[in-house]
Homo-oligomer: A and B are copies of this chain.
């Protein structure tokens, strides 16, 4: 076993899968490529990792250069390294995932970036992307759906003040399912993650809903405590199994 001849002759990239919630719809942020290969194709915002930066660092830098987003939390999901996934040679890519609320961020492509523009796309409208980005997106979507049942991630996707119905719709959109209103409220309120603002919607043509905000301190506790969420209303007989 020797050092391969092509040692130090490979490249790695990061690709960011940024999910957003807007208008009752789960979206993902794509860029249109400004260079070959896949010129003009849409793909995930991703680019090469520099030699002097860490992976996560690179993911944040690339995301900002290509879409203008800063201050999003990125989480490493999986690394894709099939041969032939990049026409320029052996390129391995590390996929990062984030969940943000669309309204909070203004998209802005830097001049020197490899992107012509950045836009949000509804998940259901996406069929083909540059490279193997569709596969990466699908993997991240699976992860998101599993994740959402274990951590209260959904909150990141709503405005600072929201109604319980909005929160429920969010979960229904991500999980592509329907939930029972009363049970949803019971659960969510019992978690003490919400702050009751004692304010109400205005100018709605129906009984106005109470507004809530999200208790960030309490959220931190949840994450560190390894709490287990569970969306359920479950299909199967024996749901929570041990061992």
Chain A interfacial positions (CB closer than 8 Å to B): 1-4, 6-12, 47-55, 65, 76, 78-83, 89-90, 92, 94, 110, 112-114, 152, 154, 167, 171, 183-184, 187-188, 190-191, 225, 227-232, 236, 238-243
Contacts and interface: CB of A to CB of B under 8 A. Distances in A.
A1 B114 contact: yes
Nearest to A190: B238
B54 A83 contact: yes
B82 A79 contact: no
A150 B152 CA distance: 19
A239 B222 CA distance: 11
Given A4-B48, A10-B10, A12-B12, A241 B191 contact: yes
23 contacts: A2-B112, A3-B48, A7-B48, A8-B11, A8-B89, A9-B51, A10-B51, A12-B81, A55-B80, A55-B81, A81-B94, A92-B94, A167-B243, A171-B243, A187-B242, A188-B242, A190-B238, A190-B241, A191-B243, A225-B236, A227-B241, A230-B240, A240-B240
Contacts of A50: 4, 6
A48 to B, nearest CB: 5
Pick the 3 closest A-B CB pairs, nearest first. Answer: A55-B81, A187-B242, A6-B51
Given A7-B11, A241-B191, A83 B52 contact: yes
